Amino acid sequence: MSVLALSQKRIKKAKVWLISIILLIVLAAVAYTFLYLKHDANMTDVGNRLASPTQAHPLGTDHLGRDVLTRLLLGFRLTVGYSLIALAAAVIIGVPFGLIAGLRGGWIDRLFMRIADGFLAFPDTVIAIVLSGLLGPGIGNLLFAIVLVKWVNYARMVRSTVLTEVRKDYVTIARINGLSTFTIMRKHLLPHIIGNVLVLASLDFGKIILLISSLSYIGLGAQPPTPEWGAMLNESRPYFQANPEMMVYPGLAIVAVVLVANVLGDYLRDKFDVKKEVQP
């Protein structure tokens, strides 16, 4: 075995171990989230504001006397949950559009490409900020803006894969045998795009978390007293010099979850042997 092959094998094994450890940590955090929540995340205690860590409050309290750990754990459920909702909606909308545009072609494909070009003319963050600003602050409007931005990536990727596959003999034989368009998409094309969709979704998951947190930080997403990580960062800004840990905790939580998503995305890309050209 060559040195290069041996190095690649060790790197792959290290990735598997890293992913396993990170997933165990995440699962432990999820379990602890449901077991620990003994404080009301929005219950204020001004007399105990900005308290140091104690047995009752392991990470201390914030500027309103609320338990930081409770809000951080509940923020995990909210931030990750919002991201999963936006991601699932983008995939559910984008995949069928890409399948239909790539398989049917014609004016449908041309119309889709013009719409996609319009969305891709500007960065995702800029479009999300503009749409959220026009629709007004709120997590619902923010999720709608993110879905409107992200579905195009999945549709374009699926369309590209379909255009490559429809030229192959097995699709031609399926058409000659009289299979319907829906059957061809379900039985023959979907298996070829699932791997690409999973990889893109895992990489997009971290980006969506950053997008939700950053827009909540500037006041366009979740509104106080919702314990969303970006909103928690915004609320902690005035107390950064005296109590920097109030911003450090949600910041580290965002970094950890995004790191998990990126490592998982790299692993899935290697697992499914996805070419870099399909990634936006």
Classify residue 177: in a domain, yes or no.
yes
Tokens representing 6 are 């041996």
- Of the pLDDT bands very low, low, confident and very high (cuts 50, 70, 90), residue 38 is low
Model confidence over 141-183: pLDDT tens digits? 999 999 999 999 998 888 888 888 777 777 778 777 777 777 7
Rounded CA-CA distance 68/65 in Å is 9
Model confidence over 181-213: pLDDT tens digits? 777 777 777 777 887 888 888 888 889 999 999
Classify residue 46: in a domain, yes or no.
no
Model confidence over 67-120: pLDDT tens digits? 888 888 888 888 888 998 999 999 999 998 888 888 777 788 888 888 888 888
Classify residue 40: in a domain, yes or no.
no
Model confidence over 77-87: pLDDT tens digits? 888 889 989 99
Q: How many domains does the chain divide into? A: 1
Classify residue 33: in a domain, yes or no.
no
Residues 6+ apart with CB under 8 A from 19: 263, 264, 267
Flag whether pLDDT at 12 surpasses 80: no
What percentage of the chain has pLDDT greater than the value 90? 12
CATH number, domain containing residue 138: 1.10.3720.10
Mean pLDDT of 236-259: 88
Residue 162 near residue 102 (C-beta atoms within 8 A): yes
Rounded CA-CA distance 63/51 in Å is 9
Say what the pLDDT of residue 221 is: 85
DSSP state string for 185-235: IIIIIHHHHHHHHHHHHHHHHHHHHHHHHHHHHTTSSS-TTS--HHHHHHH
Report the chain's C-alpha Rg in angstroms: 23
- Of the pLDDT bands very low, low, confident and very high (cuts 50, 70, 90), residue 16 is low
Flag whether pLDDT at 20 surpasses 80: no
Identify the residue with better confidence: 1 or 36: 36
Rounded CA-CA distance 181/38 in Å is 53
Model confidence over 207-242: pLDDT tens digits? 999 999 999 998 888 888 888 889 899 988 888 888
Record the pTM. 0.80
Classify residue 16: in a domain, yes or no.
no
Classify residue 35: in a domain, yes or no.
no
Classify residue 50: in a domain, yes or no.
no
Say what the pLDDT of residue 187 is: 77
Classify residue 64: in a domain, yes or no.
no
Mean pLDDT of 46-57: 83
φ, ψ of residue 117 to 5 degrees: the values are -60, -35
Domain extent, residue 86, equals 77-272
Model confidence over 22-37: pLDDT tens digits? 666 666 666 665 655 5
What percentage of the chain has pLDDT greater than the value 70? 82
